[in-house]
Amino acid sequence: MLSILVCHTYFLGFDQKQQQRAKPYPPLATLQVAALLRTAGHEVSLFDAMLAEDYTRFERQLDLLHPQVVLFYEDNYNFLSKMCLGRMRRAGCDMLDLAQRRGARSIVGGSDASDAPEPYLSAGADAVLYSIGFVVATGCLHAAGIAIGLIHRWPTGKGVLRAMGAVVALAGLWFLWQAVA
């Protein structure tokens, strides 16, 4: 299975207005994706940018964990990111560059990336998830896990999990096709 670092790019310290309110929120969608991927058998770590002052802790996690994939998954209902979109987009692009320089594949999902994928792709994202990113993210990561798993010998139980991942990936592609069509 894959080693995945799941994160988001909302830094409270970059949003002076919300910092003054001093009411941070938990990144629920990011946490849900991390939990789902962990349940599916992937080695999952989490970086919560909310209270980080800068990229130092993110870089430390990249250096210590050497993840195969970094999944940037934003809460699509997060009005805070939209309030200071330029700064948060810059943070995402900076983090993508840091991950790319360390050899990790990067996937970005969220409302801004769906609306404007070019800045993220230019910053090094390997893929941008559109619309129903939760299903697609899970499916894509399952498919990647399957491909890696085929190279190695695995017990039968893990083979069944990979087959289920393929079904989820195909379902995600079908849902994406329906959303775009």
Quick: pLDDT tens for 107-123: 998 888 888 899 999 99
- Reduced to 3 states (helix: H, G, I; strand: E, B; else coil), residue 52 is coil
Q: How far apart are CA 149 and CA 28, in angstroms?
A: 29
Domains by residue range for the chain, with CATH: 3-180 (3.40.50.280)
The C-alpha atoms of residue 111 and residue 49 are separated, in whole angstroms, by 17
**Residue 79 backbone phi and psi in degrees, to 5:** -70, -20
The token pair that represents 122 in the structure block: 């230019």
Per-residue confidence (pLDDT) for residue 175, from 0 to 100: 62
Count of beta carbons in the 10 Å neighbourhood of residue 119: 17
Sign, CA dihedral 135-137-138-139, equals positive
Q: What is the pLDDT of residue 65?
A: 97
Strands annotated E in the chain: 3-7, 43-47, 69-73, 105-109, 127-129
Neighbour-count burial of 103, counting CB atoms closer than 10 A to its CB (0-12 exposed, 13-18 middle, 19+ buried): exposed
How far is Cα 113 from Cα 147, in angstroms, rounded to an integer?
A: 26
Residue type for position 29: A
Q: What is the pLDDT of residue 138?
A: 64
Looking at residue 77, its amino acid is Y
Residue 128 per-residue DSSP state? E
* pLDDT computed for residue 68 by the predictor: 95
Ranges of the chain with pLDDT below 70: 76-84, 131-139, 141-162, 164-165, 168, 172-173, 175-181
User: What's the distance, Cα to Cα, between the start and end of the chain in Å?
Assistant: 32
